[in-house]
Structure 1
Amino acid sequence: MHEVQKYGKHMHEQKFKEQRMRAINRFKLHRYRRRADVIIKRRPPWRENLLNIVVLILVIISMSIGVIEIKITDTISFLLLPLIYALVLGLALFLAKPFKYIDVEQAKVAEGAMVILIGVLICKLAISSGQSIGVILKVGPALILQLLGDLGTLIALPVALLLGFRREVIGMASSICREPNLAIIIDKYGFKSPEARGVLAIFVIGSIIGTPFISFLSSMCVSIIPFHPYAFAMASGIGSASMNAAALVPLVHMNPGMATQLEAFAGCSNILSFCLGIYMCLFISLPLAEKLYKWLSPVLGDGSASIADSEYDESEDVEDDSVDGLSFGKLKRWSTLLLAFSIIVAVGSVVGYHVSFVDAFIAMIIISVITIIGMSLERIFPFHVPSIIFISLIGLIVAIPGVPTADFVTHYVSQVELTTICTAFLAYVGISIGKDWEAFKKIGWRGIIVALIVICGTYLGSATIANITLFLTGMI
């Protein structure tokens, strides 16, 4: 009997250890999602009314200013968009030390909110994808092949060598350097490696200036390069929700009659980049970066540049309901945050586009419900499936013509422009990135140049391949 009890106790302990290891492994796969859960648990949304009021004011100011077109020549111009004003004003508020209402704590809460609100951006694009499912199926080859444009980041490698970087260039130029790519580099080379310092440098720069830069780049390219708008929309999907939306907004503004189709292509492209981009990096671009470094490093550069060790922290301990699973507390916190965000976007829609507050609010509630369902499924699904996949699939399915929900969903969601959602989202982003400002300044001008070339390379590479494929398949 004693042996049976001892065996039962051992099995119970073993089962507990296995469950904990599964939780820890899921934590490693979802570091940013988990950090958002922790932050929002420590400072629940209902305690951050002041932050939400500040964001609301930023959105009202930004949407009131509207779009400003700056002409360089008669045919070349770029757009200043409300989302840029919101991001800059949010950052300025954090950096304005006398302004006591926005400090490091609010910046952390804004960071946590960003991770959740990305789902809202994805859902809006997914619903547009459902509306345009027939067109998407016709241009399928272009959507797939344009992923090869991600290899355009490699043009930054010789430039980085000329600027004095050494093995950091492998991390800097092998991808667009968002979360999945960061995980690949750290896992392959180690956290303290020069490759990891390189990818983290581009990650920080991209987080701070990537969104406004790609918005500027998109508006300039549409004016200068005679590609079809569909090609630029596909190129917007680089695996970052905020950059995806920022690149798309000026394109939609210049081609309002194609708004739904452009949003559909951009949304599908971004999901493909997220799902397949990690394999592109692992099996193609990273090995190519290694070979290019081996061939070019003896010839180019003297290794005089350096990147300071990162303060990236993996030491957060695993605790309670923030690690894994679903709880009533999480649902309550998500719902409160998304309710506040829905009100902000609805007000912004009234100010910027003079639509009905009620219609815009209903649209945001539909999007928020889909977002919550997607995040919940991620936490209860037994296999590793990111929430953006669930959100994208649900948003796409409920909007497909002929599905019973399609008319209702598309009628209301069409009342909210992507510009307004992006403006509200980037107000939180601006406040959040303020706490990374010192790290950004340490990287230096050489790292900034490399980051901008990386973004240009992947955007222009994807747009070129997409346009050629669309032409060859007779779609344009």
Structure 2
Amino acid sequence: MAIGVKEIKITDTISILLLPLIYALVLGLALYLAKPIKFIGRKQSKVAEGAMVLFIGVLITKLAISSGQAIASIFQVGPALLLQQIGNLGTLIALPIALFFGFRREVIGMTSSICREPNLGVIIDKYGFKSPETRGVLAVFVIGSILGTPFISFLSSISASLIPMHPYAYAMASGVGSASMNAAALAPLMHMFPSMATDLEAFAGCSNLLSFCFGIYMCIFVSLPLAERMYKWLSPHIGHDKEETIDDEYAIEGVKHDKYASKEELSSGKIKRWATFLLIFSFTVAVGNYIGYHTSLLDSFIGMIIISLITILGMSLERIIPWNIQSIIYISLIGIIVAIPGMPTADFIVRYVSQIDLTTICTAFLAYVGIAIGNDWEEFKKIGWRGIIITLIVISGTYLCSAGIAHLTLVATGMV
């Protein structure tokens, strides 16, 4: 957080943004892999693995509270902004290609979404950290974090020049749920259509808000089940079924040893472990937020405690209520409800939680991811150049499909 965001200019409209969350992931992995470092090893990597599942709840809570806070704005947006969200399913175009390249269950994590932080949380929560699905989503996340921003900027400028769709449609398509990619995709459009700059900013901002708030639910309820079905249908016919049994055993082993956030029966000991980890994590995020954004340390810490309590409540409900519902659903519902304007809790919760920037939570979270990746670095390296191609197809699929749907809706409704 002290290093901050660094921008590397390539051209006037294309630049590479280096974010604190990337530094944290790389430093976490480097500390594990560095041979002279003795205090971060397999044991610490295992602890990071288990703790991550808990910290995912923190990330989801922050997103849910933002959704509840902006519920009125979300209902006010037009049909084009809503319908273009279906274009996020364009990532699934990459699934058969990934199978052709020889990936197996990794394709579910790689192609069910654009693989940003919330989607990363969904995959880890559903499949476990040591699963091929998580290796897939992590690969696209890392590659997308490094190459995604400059690539989508280039894609935006080329598409707007070559494909005759309205600039508003491209502005809406830039809202992929990533602030850096949103800005990178919007910059060329504003340069190409300066007279529309204000409107383009408004459409891009609303679209990104929708993706930011509800993209995770599209992943949980639509794209992830579709990716599972497509894999089941296509995998016998494309590629080879090598090592699938090994991967499945590997995933089961990873979940079995997770004592920090496993789905065993709720106990006072488990709640104490959750509370201890979340207290430490809350302090870390509060300090990072103070360093990066100069917010009140006390206000940030109070906000994190609120988020932590909702996380514990959601994870407890998963174990108390006898239905097969993931904790992230309970956490999301609670977070949205308590932050809706007019609710007795809304003003207090929003006042403190709004002090915490999502980037700070993601930075702390990805430090744990970096340490946890260390145990599986050899497996992770197998993704290689094929992962880069799949990542670029995933980004292109969601951007162009969203733009196409937005353009057709704008024409159909007479807005353009």
TM-score interval, smaller chain: 0.7 to 0.9
Give yes or no for contact 1:160–1:169 (8 Å, CA) kept in 2: no
The aligned runs of 1:52-201 (5 Å cut-off) are 63-139=1-77, 142-143=81-82, 146-147=85-86, 149-155=88-94, 157-158=96-97, 161=100, 163=101, 165=102, 175=112
- d(CA) in 1 for partners of 2:89 and 2:209? 20
Cα deviation, residue 350, structure 1: 1.0
User: Residue in 2 aligned with 1:406?
Assistant: 346
- d(CA) in 1 for partners of 2:240 and 2:232? 24
- Answering whether residue 331 of structure 2 is matched by residue 391 of structure 1, we say yes
Provide, for residues 421-465 of structure 1, a one-character-per-residue CA deviation record: whole Å limited to 9, x for no partner: 111111111111111101123x25354345425643554356435
With structure 2 as the length reference, what TM-score do the two structures score?
Answer: 0.76
Cα deviation, residue 128, structure 1: 1.0
- d(CA) in 2 for partners of 1:430 and 1:166? 22
User: Residue in 2 aligned with 1:223?
Assistant: 153
Provide, for residues 16-54 of structure 1, a one-character-per-residue CA deviation record: whole Å limited to 9, x for no partner: xxxxxxxxxxxxxxxxxxxxxxxxxxxxxxxxxxxxxxx
- d(CA) in 2 for partners of 1:111 and 1:183? 11
Question: What is the SS of the residue equivalent to 1:279?
Answer: helix
Question: What is the SS of the residue equivalent to 1:70?
Answer: strand
The aligned runs of 1:414-453 (5 Å cut-off) are 414-441=354-381, 443=382, 445=384, 447-449=386-388, 451-453=390-392
Distance 1:281 1:405, change over 3 A: same
Cα deviation, residue 406, structure 1: 1.3
User: Residue in 1 aligned with 2:159?
Assistant: none
- d(CA) in 2 for partners of 1:337 and 1:385? 23
The aligned runs of 1:301-320 (5 Å cut-off) are 309-310=246-247, 312-314=250-252
Which segments of structure 1 move beyond 6 Å, counting only runs of 4 or more?
166-174, 177-185, 252-261, 303-308, 316-321
* Structure 1: segments with no counterpart, 5+ residues: 1-62, 186-198, 237-246, 298-302
User: Residue in 2 aligned with 1:211?
Assistant: 141
Give yes or no for contact 2:108–2:136 (8 Å, CA) kept in 1: no
Distance 1:260 1:411, change over 3 A: farther
Q: Number of matched residues?
A: 376
- d(CA) in 2 for partners of 1:266 and 1:146? 11
Give yes or no for contact 1:349–1:360 (8 Å, CA) kept in 2: yes
Give yes or no for contact 2:92–2:112 (8 Å, CA) kept in 1: yes
Provide, for residues 354-404 of structure 1, a one-character-per-residue CA deviation record: whole Å limited to 9, x for no partner: 111011111111111111111111111121111111111111111111111
* Structure 2: segments with no counterpart, 5+ residues: 157-166, 188-200
Give yes or no for contact 2:311–2:331 (8 Å, CA) kept in 1: yes
- d(CA) in 2 for partners of 1:468 and 1:215? 28
Question: What is the SS of the residue equivalent to 1:314?
Answer: helix
Provide, for residues 110-133 of structure 1, a one-character-per-residue CA deviation record: whole Å limited to 9, x for no partner: 111111111111111111111111
Provide, for residues 145-171 of structure 1, a one-character-per-residue CA deviation record: whole Å limited to 9, x for no partner: 63454243334534753x5x4988987
User: Residue in 2 aligned with 1:272?
Assistant: 218
**Between 212-221 and 377-386, the greater mean CA deviation after superposition:** 212-221
Cα deviation, residue 249, structure 1: 5.4
Distance 1:474 1:359, change over 3 A: farther
- Answering whether residue 319 of structure 2 is matched by residue 379 of structure 1, we say yes
Give yes or no for contact 1:201–1:447 (8 Å, CA) kept in 2: no
Question: What is the SS of the residue equivalent to 1:65?
Answer: coil
CA RMSD of aligned residues (A): 4.1
- d(CA) in 1 for partners of 2:174 and 2:300? 28
- d(CA) in 2 for partners of 1:183 and 1:351? 30
User: Residue in 2 aligned with 1:191?
Assistant: none
Distance 1:317 1:109, change over 3 A: closer
With structure 1 as the length reference, what TM-score do the two structures score?
Answer: 0.67
Distance 1:338 1:454, change over 3 A: farther
Cα deviation, residue 326, structure 1: 1.7
- d(CA) in 1 for partners of 2:225 and 2:302? 38
Question: What is the SS of the residue equivalent to 1:434?
Answer: helix
Give yes or no for contact 2:135–2:380 (8 Å, CA) kept in 1: yes
- d(CA) in 2 for partners of 1:183 and 1:412? 27
Distance 1:415 1:159, change over 3 A: closer
